[in-house]
Every structure is written in structure tokens, then in C-alpha cells.
Structure 1
Amino acid sequence: MDVGAIRKALADVVRDEIPSLNCFGYVPDDVPEPCFYSGEVEIDFDKTFGRGMDEIAVTCRLLVSRADDRSGQEALDKYLAGSGPDSIKQAIETGRGAPGQSALGGLADDLHVQRVQAYRQYLVGDRTYYGAEIVVRIIGRG
């Protein structure tokens, strides 16, 4: 699987579903808020016999303004809901495609938003944001 293309495709599906988010398929140097980006990647090769299926876990980040504690966390919470117009989970999972179709426009066989973790403050440069990590599991041919 093409890791760079997958990271970009994740940002693209979120941007298409939630246009109010600034989305990147890479870790940006400057964070325009609110911001979603594809970060770290873990790859488990050969999940089936031979050179079969690989599994990739992409840790994405969602960062919002820390203008004040309550409004910043409320903004973050709306994106972390399991469903709804601002749900990151729902937006990413539109990338699965219709039944029988490949995920992310043919880049993978399937994907699933596995979990949200590390809900906390993040320091980027000299600015602090409220944020969380979203772990996306992607499977496909190696």
C-alpha cells in the first residue's frame, strides 16, 4: 500500500465531509485551526500467509483553538462524536466506499476508525491547542 497516498486520502475524505476543517495529509509546520492531519504510521506486514495483507495504523490529530477552556473543549467534543455532521469518525468512514468497493478510492481494501486517544493540550511551536488523536486501521494488499 502507498502510505503517502493513504495519508493524503484520509485528509481528503475529512475535508470533503467537514469543509470547516483545515486538513492535511502530512504534519504541518503551522496549524490553522481547527485542523485535522495524518500523523504517525505503524505498519504490520504479512497479516496473512506469504506477502498477503498488510495492516496500517495511521494516528491522525485533531487540534482546535484554546481560546478558553470551555469553548475549546466543546469544539473538540463535537468533532469526536460517533455520528453527526461534524463527526470525524463518520467522515473518515465515508472513505470505505459502497459495499464491494475498495476503500480510499482503491488504495486499500477496508478501513475502520479504531479509537480516540490522548485527549489533551498539544504544544505546536509556541501555541497550545486542545486536541485528540484518532487511530485509523487500514488493511490492504502488501
Structure 2
Amino acid sequence: MQISAIRDALADAARDVVLPAGLRALTCTGYVPDAITEPHFFVADYEQTFDRAMRRALDELEFTTRVLVGRQDDRASQQLLDSMLSGSGPASLKAAIEAARGAPGEYALGGLAHDLHVMRVQGYRWYEHQGTEYVGAELIIKVIGEG
């Protein structure tokens, strides 16, 4: 699997969320950005497990992604974050990213991987990024594909 291409494809999939009217569109990057244009989703860290099947047939990547929201209004910011962390709905990152799995029998992320799964949310808290504080959380995404 080509890790940089998968990072970019995850960001592309996340762009499909639909935020409430009057809010900026979600900015998404496949890498940790120097500066945040909030709300912002990005792929941060990853872990790679090689050889989940014999002869390099399958590798497993576990991506830690992060979504950050501005703090103009603490309650409204957390409500927006909650909608993006929901398991379903137009603003759901899980729904948007898992839509990139493709139809049954198709490869995920436009052919870059066998499959993917948004596994969990963690780290719901305040984050500092380049000296500015945001409310945010991490989503853990498992991607499997050829080694």
C-alpha cells in the first residue's frame, strides 16, 4: 500500500461531510498541517503491521486522525464536534469515510486498499496547535491491503 496516497484518500473521503448551514466547509488534509483552518480534519499518526497474511499478502495500517473545531462558543463548538463524531448523519465523519469502502467486491479508497473501518473515537479534549487551542478528538481508522 502507498501510505501517502492512502492519507490523501482518507482526507478526500472526509470532505464529503455536510456541516450545518452557515458554517465553513470542513478543511481536510492527509498530513499534519502547519496551520489550522477550522473546522479541520487531518491524518496525524499511523502504525503499520506487516505480514498479516503469508508472503506479504496483507498489511494493516491503523491511522490516528484528528478533527479540530474553533472555540468561539464552547457549547456550539462541542455540538459541532459531536455531530462529526456521530456514527451516522450528514456531518458524520464515520459515514463519510466508510462510504469510500466502495461497493461489495470493490477495493476501498479508489483501489488503494482492500478495506477500511472507522473503529473508534478517543481523546475528546482541548488541543493546542501552533499556539491556538481547539476542541477536538481523534478517530482511529484501520486500513488493510496488499503488502
> Which TM-score band applies after superposition, normalised by the shorter structure?
over 0.9
SS at structure 2 position matched to 1:57: strand
Name the count of aligned residue pairs.
142
CA shift for structure 1 position 8:
0.1
Structure 2 counterparts to residues 36-55 of structure 1, below 5 A: 36-55=41-60
CA shift for structure 1 position 16:
3.2
Contact kept in structure 2, 1:102 and 1:108, CA below 8 Å: yes
Question: Could you say which residue in structure 2 is the equivalent of 1:10?
Answer: 10
Deviations 1:33-68 (A, max 9, x none): 000011101000000122110000111100001113
**Corresponding letter in the other structure for 1:106:** G
Aligned counterparts of 1:62 and 1:94: Cα–Cα separation in 2: 18
Structure 1: gaps spanning 5 or more residues: none
Deviations 1:87-117 (A, max 9, x none): 0000000110011100000000000001000
Aligned counterparts of 2:137 and 2:16: Cα–Cα separation in 1: 20
Contact kept in structure 2, 1:18 and 1:91, CA below 8 Å: no
Identity across the alignment (%): 53
SS at structure 2 position matched to 1:102: coil
2:72 aligned with 1:67: yes
Aligned counterparts of 2:61 and 2:106: Cα–Cα separation in 1: 19
Contact kept in structure 2, 1:22 and 1:36, CA below 8 Å: yes
Q: Which of 110, 113, 116 pairs up with 1:108?
A: 113
CA shift for structure 1 position 72:
1.4
Assess, with a 3 A threshold, how the Cα gap between structure 1 residues 13 and 55 changes in structure 2: closer, same or farther.
same
CA-atom RMSD, angstroms? Answer: 1.1
CA shift for structure 1 position 71:
1.4
Structure 2: gaps spanning 5 or more residues: 20-24
Moved more, 9-18 or 72-81: 9-18
Contact kept in structure 1, 2:17 and 2:26, CA below 8 Å: no
Question: Could you say which residue in structure 2 is the equivalent of 1:96?
Answer: 101
SS at structure 2 position matched to 1:82: coil
TM-score between the two structures when normalised by the length of structure 1: 0.97
